[in-house]
Amino acid sequence: MTTRDWRIFKEDFNISTKGGGIPNPIRSWEESELPDWILNAVKDANYKKPTPVQMQAIPIGLQGRDILGVAETGSGKTAAFVLPMLVYISKLPKMTREMEADGPYALVLAPSRELASQIENETKKFAKYSAYRTVLVVGGQPIEEQAMKLRKGCEIIIATPGRLNDCLVSRYVVLNQCNYIVLDEADRMIDMGFETQVIQILESMPRETLKSEVEEVAELQEKDHRNKFRTTLMFSATMPPEVERLSRNYLRRPGVIYIGVVGRAVDRIKQNVVFVKSDHEKKTRLEQLLREGPPPPIIIFVNQRKTCDNIAKYINKLGYRVTTLQGGRSQDQRDWSLSEFREGRYDILVATDIAGRGLDVKGVTHVINYDLPKNIEQYTHRIGRTGRAGESGLSTSFFTNDDAEILYDLKKMLQDTENSVPHELSSHPEAQMKPGGFVAQSRRDTVIYVS
């Protein structure tokens, strides 16, 4: 293919890149140059063709290069970083009992227990033809049990920042030979207040293995066949200033990947927005949606634990099999609910924002925002539970006069994605300007909104 052909190909898949020497994307798994044992695992997992983020991230990752990936939710990021990570480990010496005391070869950080558990499952699936050991280090489980597993040694740790930092402080684990780190959902980790812990973890890795800030030197270090220099991959759906600062401090000569439009819901999701005047009308509308809308599996999002339980009871009385996912339940209960929903034993999952990011449940036909979140980023991630892996999806969101903070951004998103904007939203006073903005009058009496 010519340079022009590649440009058209990337445009067709909404792939944009920055950084010198970015390799062309792969068009099929056969083009990936992944070893046969990984390709066999990919085939067993029924991954027929790579997604756009996988097309571009895998060839960059196989170069040993740092990556900053900005991709919409549901884009297949996990395989995009796990597969190059497994290749990286395969080039290192086999882990011995003596080496195990120096910690893992690779580390993946995720903001929530559910997402970390999901990444662990995917990693084990792709590593099935290897002997690599994975340890999950998350809150909600006894730290002593995790410490015991860490003492037995592993090649890969998948963790939440808070619990891993606790293990480092308690000396249950060290990162003396860990030179491959992935920060998944980096923006969410920042939102949840984990920036300090993330930095402490990064600083616990060998400082001398950071690549040079001089691009020419960093490029030579990437090609070091001993894999002695650190590789850092950071994936995020949005790019707040804190994530940009982290990337500047810890990424060296990164290949930057943009998939789709940053922070925007995928175009294949049809978004409906409905104005309701009362809680009674909400319940009536919800019952109508469940009766007349697409069949399960369905996820319903609420903002509070109490509402989560109340709505689940209400839906259960309607005859639906329903379970909940919220922070008031134990980790075992949450894992069980999610597993049962994934297996199809429940029709509907009622959840708080604990399920809003990263969770991948195949075939979700409808996401209902019974309560609107407070910001457009969380809205984007919630509705991203449907329309995944190239499928179309549907979201329906109820809004009231109490949702002032999000109405301007919600109206703009509906317009940008060519979804219908209901009159109650388009004419709502709070949807006319961004919160904190003010209205100015031009000489031609045209209203201008200034934020």
pLDDT digits over 75-128, tens only?
789 999 999 999 999 999 999 999 999 999 999 999 999 899 999 999 999 999
SS (H, E, C) 15-39: EEEECCCCCCCCCCHHHHCCCHHHH
Residues 243 and 186 in one domain: yes
In a domain, 110, yes or no: yes
**What's this model's pTM, rounded to 2 decimal places?**
0.70
Q: Is the pLDDT of residue 415 over 50?
A: yes
Both 393 and 338 in one domain: the answer is yes
pLDDT band for position 387 (cuts 50, 70, 90): confident
pLDDT of residue 266: 65
Residue 273 and residue 425 in contact, taking contact as beta carbons nearer than 8 Å: yes
Burial class (CB in 10 A: 0-12, 13-18, 19+), 333: middle
Residue 385 pLDDT greater than 90, yes or no: no
**Among the ranges given (17-26, 358-367, 397-406), the one the predictor scored with the smallest mean pLDDT:** 358-367
Percentage, residues of the chain above pLDDT 70: 93
pLDDT in tens, 13-45: 889 999 989 999 999 999 999 999 999 999 999
* Neighbour count for residue 74 (Cβ, 10 Å): 26
- What are residue 399's DSSP bridge partners? 275
Which residue, 294, 295, 329, 293, is CA-closest to 309?
329
Smallest Cα–Cα separation from 364: which of 340, 396, 387, 338? 387
Predicted confidence band of residue 444 (pLDDT cuts 50, 70, 90): very low
Where does a domain end: 209, 236, 259?
259
Residue 304 covered by a domain: yes
Average pLDDT, the chain: 89
Last residue of a domain, one of 259, 283, 307: 259
- Give me the mean pLDDT over the 147-153 stretch: 94
Give yes or no for residue 329 having a pLDDT over 90: no
Note whether residue 305 is domain-resident.
yes
Spatial separation of the C-alpha atoms in residues 258 and 195, rounded to whole Å: 23
| Integer Cα distance of 386 and 368 in angstroms | 10
DSSP 369: E
pLDDT per position as a tens digit, 54-74: 999 999 999 999 999 988 666
Q: How confident is the model at residue 262 (pLDDT cuts 50, 70, 90)?
A: low
How many domains does the chain divide into?
2
Residues 157 and 248 in one domain: yes
What is the average pLDDT across 391-413?
A: 92
- 448 lies in some domain: no
Helix (H) / strand (E) containing 295 = none
Query: What's the confidence (pLDDT) of residue 396?
Result: 97
Q: How many CB atoms lie within 10 A of CB 36?
A: 8
Note whether 172 and 281 are same-domain residues.
no
- Domain end marker among 234, 259, 284: 259
Q: What are phi and psi of 120, to 5 degrees?
A: -60, -45
Mean pLDDT of 174-193: 93
In a domain, 232, yes or no: yes
Shared domain check, 219 and 186: yes
Q: What is the mean pLDDT of residues 346-375?
A: 86
Angle between helical axes of 113-126 and 331-342 (0-180°, round to 10): 60
| pLDDT of 305 above 70 | yes
Question: Alpha-carbon distance 293 to 384, whole Å?
Answer: 18
Separation of alpha carbons 239 and 253, rounded Å = 18
Statement to judge: residues 186 and 143 lie in one domain: yes
58, 138: one domain: yes
Arithmetic mean of pLDDT, 420-427: 94
Give the strand pairing for 366-369 and 322-325.
Answer: unpaired
With a cut of 80, say whether residue 265 has pLDDT above it: no
pLDDT at 450: 35
Q: How far apart are CA 196 and CA 409, in angstroms?
A: 30
Q: What percent of the chain has pLDDT over 90?
A: 68
Gyration radius of the chain over CA positions: 23
Q: What is the DSSP letter of 434?
A: -
Q: Are residues 253 and 294 in the same domain?
A: no
| Phi/psi of residue 322, nearest 5 degrees | -135, 145
327 domain-assigned: yes
Q: For 189-246, what is each residue's pLDDT tens digit?
A: 988 889 999 999 999 999 999 999 999 999 999 888 777 899 999 998 878 888 889 9
Instruction: Please answer whether residues 90 and 84 qualify as being in contact, where contact means their C-beta atoms are separated by less than 8 angstroms.
Output: no
> Do residues 95 and 103 lie in contact, with contact meaning Cβ atoms separated by under 8 Å?
no
Residues 167 and 241 in one domain: yes
Same domain for 243 and 280? no
Residue 393 lies in a domain: yes
Q: What is the pLDDT of residue 227?
A: 78
Question: Does residue 297 sit in the same domain as residue 251?
Answer: no
CATH of the domain at 294: 3.40.50.300
Residue 335 and residue 209 in one domain: no
In a domain, 437, yes or no: no
**Of residues 289 and 327, more confidently modeled:** 289
Farthest-apart Cα atoms in the chain, separation: 78
Specify the amino acid at residue 75: S
Among candidates 197, 163, 140, which has minimal Cα distance to 325?
140
- The SS3 call for residue 373 is coil
What's the CA gap between 329 and 343, in Å, rounded?
A: 20
Rounded to an integer, what distance in angstroms lies between the CA atom of residue 161 and that of residue 190? 11
Q: Identify the CA nearest to 341 among candidates 45, 114, 188, 48.
A: 114
- In this prediction, residue 261 has a pLDDT band, given cuts at 50, 70 and 90, of low
Domain of residue 171 covers 3-259
